[in-house]
Structures are given as structure tokens and as C-alpha cells.
Structure 1
């Protein structure tokens, strides 16, 4: 281990011990930081809170003999507000762990605070690889996906039919830039090319100019590096403005069940994308999803919401096993214990914070084959976590062993 690593962990451990020394033996608090009202609300938001509360209940409602409480807040897509919420939770409410992350920019801002305060952060709904790269933390994890894994799996699948050139439409913030960067790397390695990229302000309702530019590029594939309502609008307008008629293949680099539902089966027919979970995969996923839907207006969970449950449950197991709330010791135990639950089979949490879980390739069903409101997708492939995520040897995390 490098000297700077030893020094960092020593200082971090001292900070963590001091931060808990004054804490009253009151409830153990979990903070859920999630977009409750923005374009991302359906795929995370209130569903994240439902999932975390389910995990607490399934664990028994207590850890180390103390009641577990769940707080939640909406940062409204604003990094400064997310940072303010995190500071209040840590300094005034004695929150021990933050689950969610909301957006990549918010998660990065909060992760810097979590590192300084000596608290655990479990990023379950954000994708930027900076969270496990240059700005990684010894007490944080990226639980469900990252832009590297999504881009690697999605681009490989999209090019199986011989299509070679891409045009990207992406939001102009950390996630969008990270996604395009990762996807471009895989496309270049495959011998294909990127014909162009349009970055847009998040929340834009009109994608016509970007879609027409993409059509004019003559690219084989239109890569949509966005999510939420932005993705829904992009897909719908790609039909309206003729991209599909011009034989451009639509590929979502990150999509969720809720996006497909909102866009409609007719507009998304045949769309493929990478995912960490689908509610109808097997008996375990169906059983959990049935319980979740009863508490969430009849809707099954997205991978983000399922991941919020998974991360919370594993955290509580690690706290119990470690016998302490000390962030460093809890994270050591989280890395030591294999992750097993309804969506995860023997995944390992790596020292850079990446959870090496299996990723799946999903395809939207033909409308005539849909048998129910949420029966929208087929699982057509699987990629192991070891193959999907960035090799540790390529990690830019400054605290890992080299």
C-alpha cells in the first residue's frame, strides 16, 4: 500500500472515530437523497424511499439494538442544495449514511462532504465514473451501474447487426459527458466511428434541431445518452422527425422501465439497452416487485429503486457484522461480505467503490406481445460484472492499492 494511502486511511479513521464519539445513542438514521419532482422522479424519487423503508423493515427495524429511521429530501437537481441537505443531515440530524445521489453532479458534491465528514454514501441512481475514479472515497460505493458498464454493454449489442456509425444526443452535464466519453472509447476500439454529438440543456422539451442534425449526419445509430422525460421526448420525436423512417437505429445508453412505459410500446418497439435489473426476470424479482408495487401505486421497481433496497440491506448487514457505525469499518465489512439479494448474486464491492454486478441486455417487446401494463421488456442477454465494469488496473481512484 502506498504511503499516501496509509496516511489517508489513518487520518480518515481518526476523523470518523471523532465524528461518532459525540453521537448520542439515539436512532440510526439513513438519508435518502433523490429527485422527487424533476424529470427523473419516476425512476428514482418516492420509489427510492419506499425501497429503503422496505429494506429497513425486512432487516427488523433495528441495528446494534437501535431503531433505524429513514429521512428523505429532494435536492431539485441543484448540487448546492444537495450539499446543503447533506451537511444538515450530518451535522444536525446525525445521519450515518446517504442512499441515492439524485444526479451525478449532486452525488459528486455530496461525496466530497461524506468523505470529509467520515460518513457512508451509497450511490444507487447516478452513473458518472468519477465517483469511483478521480473523486472516489474509501466510504462510498456506486451500487447499481456506471456509465462505463452501460456504454460497454449497450454499444456492443447495438453493433451486432453491422451498423458502424453513431450520432449522440446527450445532456450537457457530468452524466451526459461521461456517458458519451465512455461510449466513444468502445466505439473507437470496435473500428466504428462517432459522426457527431449534440449536448443540450437538461429538461429541454424540443429535440427537433438535434434530431435533424443527427439525421443529416447519415449515422447508422442514434445514441440517446439521456434518461427520464428527456429520453421519452427524444424517442417520441425521433419518430415524428423521421429518424426512424430514415433507418437510424435508436439505442438508449441508459433507460428504465418507467421511460418505456411513458414513451409507449409503439414508439420504443425493439429498443435495446443495458440494465442491472428487470422485475420479471425470475421468481425472486417478481416476489419483491409485487411487494414493492403494493406500496408504490402499483408500479414495479426500476433498477435504481431495487438498488436502493439492495444497498440499504447490505449496509445494515455490514453494520451488524462490524458491531459499529464507524464508516471505515463498516465499508471494510461491506467489501468483505458478498452481496446477495433478489437482484444480486454473489457480487463483490471493490475497493474503488464499484459493485461488480451482472448487467443485462433488455429489449422492448412488440406491442402485440405485451400481456400487461408493465409487461414491456424481454431479457435477451447477460454480461458478468467482471466483464461489464472497468478493470481495477485502469482505475483512477487515488486510494486503491496499485
Structure 2
């Protein structure tokens, strides 16, 4: 009888322990929301490919974490801040989403980061670019994973001015991302000894760049810098070719150009273009293996945003597994305390301001005769260590740095 009582008591103890462990995962599920651009100018660089990258990570992880299932929901924010915030608010309040991922378009990304802090959830941004996300608008609940306007500008700007391309004219998307990209690039140009001769701003998702490019051409600047992205970049580059800017002796630089943009334009039209990127599919065996799987699933090689999302999702899930809870502050602390080592980043680190610091790369688009295949588009010019590529921790104005 004593043995029976002891056995029953042990059973209750085990059940209680399991119940306690299980209760650490809210609602007995880890739910991820992929908030992205499914239908507009960033759809190729993010969109369905971003969702696919998260799905691949969850599948590779086994579909469960800390003993509970992982679920994914997704939505198109249409590049509208109000739409994005309403979706995220509903996810947090009613659908019990634990983390929102991707969020391209900085005018959407910034309020989503603020909302996530209010709701004490987690935001892992891969698609948004503004360096303000880890600067004046930093949050203890947001990680900025893949790139930002400072790194894009810093890597490309220094290299171009060093080569003698020291007068610049900016063609800039007129919203948070474009203005941050121009600001950061202009600062780098000036600090490196160059000059900014002028700027012009265009509406988001423009189809006609003729008046903007004519102003850039008339400036006689050595470099015409496109501080935009996605469809805006491809449209501007196509029309720049029609106006003969490069033939006239000016250099074109796309401060944010995804591999899908280069592929869409074609190597003949983009040869010699300088591109800053956080990822390229053909770097090593690891990048090639992931990219081959992604290509088979999606139909194109992954952009840095999409590759970054796979990496970020895995890091998030590993953090939950390690501490057996999805409580946001604890998961964020675990993520910051754990180096990122995968095909996307080696010895990556998440700083207190939310910036994930990793190497960045400067590429030049190959000439047609140099390319050996459809996606063989880039040749590596330089690898820039993360601590050199990204803004110094004490220079961004993040309040968390002062209080840390």
C-alpha cells in the first residue's frame, strides 16, 4: 500500500511538473505572423517568398517547439501603416500571435515595432530598412535582422568615394525608408570627402521617373544614387538606361537592390552596377544548399530578406526551446545571449538596441560573358565585418543604450 501511495504521488508530481512546463508556453501554441507585401512593389523581395522561408524553417524545426505546435498566419499590409497596424493589433489581441515577422516598408515597420512593445510581444524585422528601427525608435521587443539604411549606405558609399566617385545626386522614395537611406548615404559621402550636388523625391510605387532622372543627369554628378527599392528601383534603372545616363559617364548605384531585381532587369542592363547585400546564394556550400531548396519551392533564388527570415525564425524557435517559455522579455534575452551561426551569418550578435550585427557584402553585377547561368549574377568585391558595416551602438540615439 505504501508503494502504491508513493507511485500515485510520484505520478501527480510528474503531471504537475509537466503542466507547469506546458503552461510556460502561452495558449499551448507558438504562433508566428508573417506580415508582408504580397501584391505590390516589394512582393518579389518579400511576399510569398518571405512566407515560404518561415514555413521552411518551421518544417525543418519539426513543426513543434518546447512540446507545443508552431502555427503560422500571414497577411498583406499593402504598404499602408493603418492596414498593417490593424492586422497586427488583431493578431496580438484576438489571434494570440506571439511574434510578427518581416514587415517591409519602414512606414509600416516603425508603428508595428511600437505596437509590439505596447503588447509585450516580439517583432523580428527583416524587410524594413530604416536605421531608426534600432535608433531613436528602438524597442526592447524588436530585432532588426537583415539590413538597414546605415549599412547599405556605409558599405557602398565609402567604396564609391574611395574610387573617386565623389559627387552624388539622390533620387529618393518619399517616405521613411527612402529618406533614411538618403540621409545615411549622404552622411557617409560627406564624411568620406565627397559632395552631394542635389536630390529629388518621388512618390512610392512610381511608374514615370523621367523628370527625376533628367534632374539627376543635369546635375553632372558622378554618381546617381537610387534611394528606393523594389519596383521603384527597377523602373528607375530601366528609364535611366533609356536616357543614357551611364553612356553619358554617370555611375548608377542602387542602394538597395535585391537579386530578384537584378534578375528581372537582366544582366546586360545591370552589368557593372554596384550592389550592397547581406546574402548571396552562391557564397558557399551552405548558402547554395538552402537556396537550391528555396528555389525549388518558390521559383527563384532567395533575397537577403527571405534568407534572413529563415535564419531569424530558427533563432527565435531555438531560444524558446532553450528556456521553455515564449514570454517575450525572456525570449529576447535568450536571443541576445546566443550567437547566430548558420548559413546566413557567422558569429552574428543581437545588440541591446535590437540590431543583429553580421557581415555585409559589396558586389558588382557580372558582365554577360562572365555569367555561367541564370542566377550567376554577382562577383564579390568586398566583405565588410559587421562591426564596420553597421552603425556604432552609441551613435544611433537609442534610449536603451543609455539606460543599459
- The two structures have a TM-score, normalised by structure 1, of 0.93
In structure 2, distance between residues paired with 1:385 and 1:322: 28
Shift of residue 99, structure 1, vs aligned partner? 0.6
1:75 alignment partner, one of 74, 77, 94: 77
Question: Residue 22 and residue 380 in structure 1: after superposition, are their counterparts in 2 closer, same or farther (change >3 A)?
Answer: closer
Distance 1:337 1:385 in 2: 16
Q: CA deviation at 1:159?
A: 2.1
* Residue in structure 1 matched with residue 325 of structure 2 by the alignment: 324
Aligned residues: 382
Which residue of the partner structure matches residue 34 of structure 1?
A: 36
Runs of 4+ in 1 over 2 A off after TM superposition: 20-27
Aligned to 1:345: 346
Structure 2 distance, partners of 1:391, 1:334, is 20
Conserved 8 A contact 2:170-2:198: yes
1: CA distance between counterparts of 2:363 and 2:355? 22
Rg: which structure is higher? 2
For 1:190, the equivalent position in structure 2 comes to 192
Q: CA deviation at 1:80?
A: 0.2
- Write the mapping of 1:386-397 to structure 2, written as runs, cut at 5 A: 386-397=387-398
Corresponding residue number in structure 2 for 1:309: 310
Give a deviation string over 1:248-296, Cα, whole Å, max 9, x none. 0011111110010111111111001111000001100000001111110
Tell me which residue corresponds to 1:10: none
Rounded to whole Å, the distance in 2 between the matches of 1:262 and 1:135 is 34
Tell me the equivalent position of 1:8: none
Say whether the 8 Å CA contact 1:23–1:94 is kept in structure 2: no
Tell me how far 1:26 sits from its aligned partner. 3.3
2:290 matches 1:288 = yes
**Aligned residue in 1 for 2:176:** 174
Query: How much has 1:218 moved relative to structure 2?
Result: 0.8
Give the match for residue 383 of structure 2.
382
Q: 1:211 aligns with which of 210, 213, 216?
A: 213
Shift in Å, 1:330: 0.3
Q: Is the 8 A contact 2:104 2:129 kept in 1?
A: no
The answer on 1:139 being equivalent to 2:138 is no
CA distance in 2, matches of 1:380, 1:271: 12
Specify the SS of the correspondent of 1:215: helix
- Contact in 1 for aligned 2:260/2:301 (Cα 8 Å): no
For the residues of structure 2 that align with 1:126 and 1:154, how far apart are their CA atoms?
Answer: 19
What CA deviation, in whole Å up to 9, does each residue of 1:113-145 have, x standing for no partner? 100000000000111011111111101110001
1:161 deviates by 2.3
Alignment partners' CA distance in 2, 1:336 and 1:203: 39
Counterparts of 1:395 and 1:206, CA distance in 2: 35
In the alignment, structure 1 residue 114 sits paired with structure 2 residue 140: no
The unaligned stretches of length 5 or more in structure 2 are 1-21
Cα distance in 2 for partners of 1:387, 1:22 equals 39
> Deviation at 1:24?
5.7
Checking the alignment, whether the CA contact within 8 Å between 1:158 and 1:251 is kept in structure 2 is no
TM-score by length of 2: 0.92
1-structure distance, mates of 2:139, 2:43: 27
The answer (yes or no) to whether the contact 1:86–1:110 under 8 Å persists in 2 is yes
Contact 2:225–2:252 (CA<8 Å) still a contact in 1?
Answer: yes
Is contact 1:169-1:224 (8 Å) kept?
yes
Question: How many angstroms does 1:72 deviate by?
Answer: 0.5
Structure 1 match to 2:8: none
Q: Is there any run of 5+ residues in structure 1 with no aligned partner, and where?
A: 1-19
- Which secondary structure does the structure 1 equivalent of 2:98 belong to? strand
1:165 corresponds to 2:167:
yes
* Residue in structure 1 matching 2:50, options 48, 51, 61: 48
Q: Deviations over 1:60-105 (max 9, x none)?
A: 2111111001111000111000000001100111000011012101
Contact 1:138 1:352 in 2 (8 A): yes
The answer (yes or no) to whether the contact 2:366–2:377 under 8 Å persists in 1 is yes
Q: For each residue in 1:216-258, what CA deviation from the matched residue of structure 2 results, as whole angstroms up to 9, or x when unmatched? A: 1110001011111111111111111121121000111111100
The answer to whether the Cα contact below 8 Å between 2:204 and 2:232 also exists between their aligned partners in 1 is yes
